Structure 1
Amino acid sequence: MEPHEVGAPTRRDFLLIATGAFAAVGAAAAVWPFIDQMNPDAASLALASVEVDISSIQPGQSITVMWRGKPVFIRNRTEAEMEEARSVPLGDLKDPLARNENVDASAPATDENRAPAGYEQWLVMVGICTHLGCVPLGQQGDYGGWFCPCHGSHYDTAGRIRRGPAPENLLVPTLSFVDDTTIRIG
C-alpha cells in the first residue's frame, strides 16, 4: 500500500485547505467595511453621556436637560418633598420596583432607591411617561410631583407612579456625581 491510500494527506488536500482558508480571510476582509459602517458615528457616541452643572439649582427647583434625545428631569428636592416621599407605604405604590439603573433591578421603590446615595435631595429621571411616551409636567398632579396631562398619570415627589394608566415609575438613568456640583448622566 502506498502512503496516500492509507488516508495520509496529499498535496491536493493541502492545496484545498489553504485555498479555502485564503478565501475565508478574503471574504471576511471584504465584508468588514459593511459591518463596521453599522457602528454609531462619533456624534452619537458623544451623546452617550452628558455632564450637567447643578450648582445654580436651588431647593425646590428643577431643570430639564437632553440626553440621548430624551428629556431628563433634575430636581433639587426640599426636605418636605423627601419626607413626603419617604412616608409613602410601599403597598400604596402601583409599581413596586425602583426602576433605577444604579441599583439592583429587583430593588423596591423606596425613596432611598430612587435617589443617589449621599445626594438624596437630587432626583434625576428620564422625563418620559411610561404609559405612551408623553412628557409629564413638573410640580403638578395630586402628589406634587409630575403630572402627564395627556392621559392623567400622576407621579409623586420621587417619580413613582401613583395614579393613572402609566404602568411603571419614571426611569432613573445611570448617573454619577463628578463632584458636588456636577452630575454625569450616562
Structure 2
Amino acid sequence: MNSSRDELSDTGKKRRDFITLTATAMGGVLAGSIAWPLLQSMNPAADTLAESVTEVNLAPILSGAALTVIWQGKPVFIRHRTDREIAEAVDAPLSTLPDPQEDKARVQKPQWLVVMGICTHLGCVPLGQKKTETRGEYGGWFCPCHGSHYDTSGRIRKGPAPTNLVVPPYNFISDQLIRIGREE
C-alpha cells in the first residue's frame, strides 16, 4: 500500500512541477506583452527622430552671407565668414571676453560658423543674419531685447547674456555639406 501512495505522490509531484512551470511561463509571456509596449512608448516618436538631424548644403551661401535653418524647432545660424571676420574673431583678446573661448574651439573650418540662434540671456533671437540688420558693435549679432552684443565667433562681448551662443553638434559630410545633430 505504501508503494501505491509513493507512486501517487510521484505523479502528484510531476503534475505540480508541470503546473508551476506552465504558470511561470505564462506569467513571463504576460509580463513581456505588457512591458514591450511600455518600453516602446519611451522611444522618441518618428517626427522627433526626423528633426534630430538636419543636413545643410553650404554651396549657395556666399562669403559674408548667412543662413538660418531650423533644427529641433530652434533656429541655427550658419555664417560664411569673410577673412576679415575670421581675423577679428581670432585676434580678440580672451581677457576681454565675459565667457572666454578661442575661435578655433567654436569652429571646425574657419570660414564656417554654426551656432544656435538663441540669445543666452532670455532666449530671444538675435539680429544679424541679414546684411540689412544691425550686427552690434562687434560685427556678429545683436539681441534687441536686452542689448547683448556677440562677435563674429558668436561670443558674448557686451550686455547681460551670461554665455556665448551655443555651438550645436555638427560635422562636415563634405566640403559643402554639414549635418547638424547626432545620428543614433
CA positional deviation for 1:29: 2.1
Deviations 1:134-158 (A, max 9, x none): 1001151111111110111111110
Give 5+ residue unaligned stretches, structure 1: 1-9, 97-108
For normalisation by structure 2, the TM-score amounts to 0.80
User: Which of 147, 151, 171 pairs up with 2:146?
Assistant: 151
Could you say what secondary structure the match of 2:34 adopts? Answer: helix
Residue 90 (structure 1) aligned with residue 90 (structure 2): no
Give the structure with the larger helix fraction.
2
Residue 124 (structure 1) aligned with residue 119 (structure 2): no
User: Which of 155, 171, 179 pairs up with 1:176?
Assistant: 171
Instruction: Give the CA RMSD over aligned residues.
Output: 2.0
Q: Percent identity?
A: 55
Moved more, 17-26 or 139-148: 17-26
CA positional deviation for 1:35: 2.8
Distance in 1 separating the partners of 2:118 and 2:48: 20
Give 5+ residue unaligned stretches, structure 2: 1-12, 129-133
For normalisation by structure 1, the TM-score amounts to 0.79
Could you say what secondary structure the match of 1:58 adopts? Answer: coil
User: Which of 157, 161, 165 pairs up with 2:156?
Assistant: 161
Distance 1:27 1:83, change over 3 A: same
Structure 1 runs of 4+ off > 3 angstroms?
10-22
Which has the larger Rg? 2
